[in-house]
Structure formats: structure tokens, C-alpha cells
Amino acid sequence: MTYDLTDVNVLKNLLSRHGFTFSKALGQNFITDPAVCPKMAELSGITGDDCAIEIGPGVGVLTTELAKRAKKVVSIELDRRLLPVLARTLEEYRNAEVVCADVLKTDLRELVKEHFAPGDRVFVCANLPYYVTSPILMHLLESGVPFAGLTLMVQKEAGQRLTAPIGSRDAGAVTYAVQYYAESRMLFEVGRSSYTPAPQVDSCVVQLTPRDKPPVEVADEAFFFRTVKAAFSQRRKTAANGLSSGLGLPKDKVAEALVAAGLSPSVRAEALTMEEMAGLADKLRGKGPEARGQGPGNGPAD
């Protein structure tokens, strides 16, 4: 039996038969606009020879569109309560498999090895749970899996950050991190009324195309990301303030590094090009405990 998962009555009946109630904490807003998932799957570039990883299938509304196009789809869903629902909605899609796990705790290289054949092109296509957008994004980009492309639905403001040109007002720490790994572009916007239940915010779909090699060379990648995050940590102040507190360095050491990198000590983080940020990270490296990589980890960029 096939279900029209974009019909709100069908969706509500299906969920109530399984005693399922939406979890806000898990970012459960399901797409019920019939135009969105086919468009997203189509623009992902996935063909019948390709494989797809989906994060957070919900009831499978995007999964079925991916399964119609891909050779194989593996969807990672954290909420165990959705498994019996997905077993029904994906019954007819023999090429769709669900893995019950937290994507952030999933070794994606292992998952790819286990589920796909060597040489398969692997895409990611997902409507992400918004409470963990940046961590998931960094987990994907840092996984070392050579994804062919990532097509992701995210909150509109997050999408604007991800696709902002570096040096523009919308750029943030995550912009540098993403552009280090991939080229990004905005595909289309999705209004809040396209979901059930409707969230408080609008969304958009962005596409990331991983680069063959990063646009800049840095001595220490992890430290480069810590530098970016620290530089943006006090957005209303100069980069030096954020770098000093974020990296645990005395202000004079930060000023020294800025000057050595050919920058003004009062420069703002958003004014730095990727090359300048990379040069600055290299000059800051080794100037203090955190800058030697011995301080607490900062986690993924926001």
C-alpha cells in the first residue's frame, strides 16, 4: 500500500494508529507540501546508479522520493517510535533501508562501507532537525566520506549563513568551515506552512558540492576551525577580543599575530577573507595553551 504522506489527514491517521506524537525536542516538523520533496530529490542530482544517505526520514516523505530515483537509500533516524511507521510507508521500496541511530554518533565511513558498494557515488539529501544543524553539517563534512553532493533543508537564516559570500554581513564561523570543504548555493525557499506541525520559522534548501581540495592551506586544520570560531565569538567586538577569550591568549599576543599576518589589530572577523583567516590561524598557532591545541575542544562552528 502506498501512502500520500503529504495529505495531512493520511499523515495524522497513520501517526495516531501508531500512537505517535510529535517531539519538538527532536525537531519533528514533517513536510506536507507535495511540491517540496520531489523538487529537492530532483535537484539533488541523484541518478539510478547513485546511492543516498538521508538524515531524519520522519515518516519517509522525502525517503520515498529518493528511493524512486536512487539505486539505494539509507536513512538514519534517531526516534525509535518512527520505525514501525517507516516499515509501513517504505514497504514497497525494496531499495530503502532505515538505520536507527543518532547521526552524530554514527561513523559515516563505516556506514558507507557497510551499505554501499565500492565506487558508488554517495549523495546526502535531508531535511535536517534544526536543533543540531551545524553539528550535523560539520559531522558530514569532516567524515572523510567523499560525498558527491549534499542537498539540505535548513532554517532560512542558517541557509543564508551557509551560502553567504565570505566578507559579507551574513557570513559567520560556519560559512568559513563550510566553504573550506565545499562550494555552497541556495536552491529554494520553503515557507513554514509547508510543514505539519508548522514551525515558527521559514526554511530553505541549500546544496553543497565538496571541493577536491580546500581553497587555502593551513598548518593545522583543527586549529584553523578553532580560530574561526573564536574570531566570531564576540560578533559586536573586534576579532582580537574573541580570539583572546576563545583561544585563551593574552591580548598582546593576539595583536602581534594580527600584525604578523598583515592585518589591523582592530579588524572585525567578518572582514577577513578565507586566506587572511588561514594566515592568522597559522600565526596564532603555538602562542598559548589552547593555541597549541591543549585547551578544551570548541566543537563545531555555529
Binding interface with ligand SAM (CB under 6 A): 26-31, 55-58, 61-62, 76-79, 102-104, 127, 129, 132
- Minimum distance from residue 162 beta carbon to ligand SAM (Å): 17
Q: Which residue is nearest to ligand SAM (CB)?
A: 56
- Minimum distance from residue 255 beta carbon to ligand SAM (Å): 41
The single-letter DSSP state of residue 161 is H
- Minimum distance from residue 300 beta carbon to ligand SAM (Å): 13
- Name which of 127 and 163 has its Cβ closer to ligand SAM: 127
Q: In the structure grid, which three cell numbers stand for residue 79, read together? A: 526516534
Determine phi and psi for 141, rounding to 5 degrees: -70, -30
Beta pairing, strands 30-31 & 195-196: antiparallel
How many other C-beta atoms can be found within 10 angstroms of the C-beta atom of residue 273?
Answer: 12
- Name which of 77 and 270 has its Cβ closer to ligand SAM: 77
- Name which of 102 and 110 has its Cβ closer to ligand SAM: 102
- Minimum distance from residue 144 beta carbon to ligand SAM (Å): 19
- Minimum distance from residue 187 beta carbon to ligand SAM (Å): 15
User: Residue 235 CA to chain centroid, in angstroms?
Assistant: 22
- Name which of 31 and 239 has its Cβ closer to ligand SAM: 31
Find, among 72, 81, 155, 84, the residue nearest to 116 by Cα. Answer: 72
- Name which of 37 and 173 has its Cβ closer to ligand SAM: 37
- 3-class SS string, 207-238: EEEECCCCCCCCCCHHHHHHHHHHHCCCCCCC
Whether 134 contacts 154, CB under 8 Å: no
